Amino acid sequence: MAERTFIAIKPDGVKRNLIGKIVTRFEEKGYKIIGLKLLLPTLEMAQKHYAEHEGKPFYPRLINYITSGPIVAMVVEGVNVIEEARKMMGKTKPEEAEVGTIRFDYALCQEYNIIHGSDSVASAEREIAIYFKEEEICANWKTMTEMIMNV
Ligand code: UDP
Ligand code: MG
């Protein structure tokens, strides 16, 4: 069963011109991108997104960071994509991330770590709804493999 996850290239990723490189990783892996847009998160969006971290010492800076410039918001579909996208991203602290992961390769510190990805089915549904309207998700098309196999 295909899952959906919410991926965001955070403002530092956009500012460092990494949009193409990061989108490419998800395309090359073979996932289906069914939502994609550049947007400046509002304070309300950021607070909803990171509600679980409210009250933590890093929370005010996190909200400032996430609203400091545009993000690239994506809905990505694929089998086991929630867990696998987290693997592709690497751990929150880039120094703990495996070599070859997005955070190891590009992030400079734990705070500015380039990318967000949902950590569960429930988070994915919640986060997609914060950033996307239903009609902005284009799920009703076939990948080339599906087209050729006529599935
Ligand atoms: N963060 C931070 N300091 C911390 C922990 C987290 O600045 O001590 C930031 C960082 O940008 C991280 C985000 O808050 O990606 C959300 O934290 P979480 O623990 O959920 O990490 P993630 O799920 O993004 O790996
Ligand atoms: Mg998290």
pLDDT at 39 over 90: yes
Global confidence as pTM: 0.97
Q: How many domains does the chain have?
A: 1
* Per-residue pLDDT tens digits for 8-37: 999 999 999 999 999 999 999 999 999 999
Buried b / exposed e along 27-59 (16+ C-beta atoms within 10 A): eeeebbebbbeeeebeeebbbebbeeeeeeeee
Residue 16: CATH number of its domain: 3.30.70.141
> How far apart (Å, rounded) are the C-alpha atoms in residues 42 and 73?
13
Catalytic residue among 4, 10, 49, 116: 116
**pLDDT score, position 49:** 98
**CB of residue 118 inside a 6 A radius of ligand 1:** no
* Of the candidate ranges 9-18, 70-79, 137-146, the one whose mean pLDDT is the lowest: 137-146
Which residues, at least 6 apart from 151, have a Cβ–Cβ distance to it below 8 Å? 142
Q: Give me the pLDDT at residue 145, please.
A: 84
Cα-to-centroid distance, 49 and ligand 2 (Å): 9
Is 49 catalytic? The answer is no
**Residue 79 structural domain:** 2-149
Report, as an integer, the average pLDDT of 87-112.
97
The alpha carbon of 142 and the centre of ligand 1 are apart by a number of angstroms equal to 35
pLDDT of the residue at 98: 98
- Nearest atom in ligand 1 to 116's CA: 24
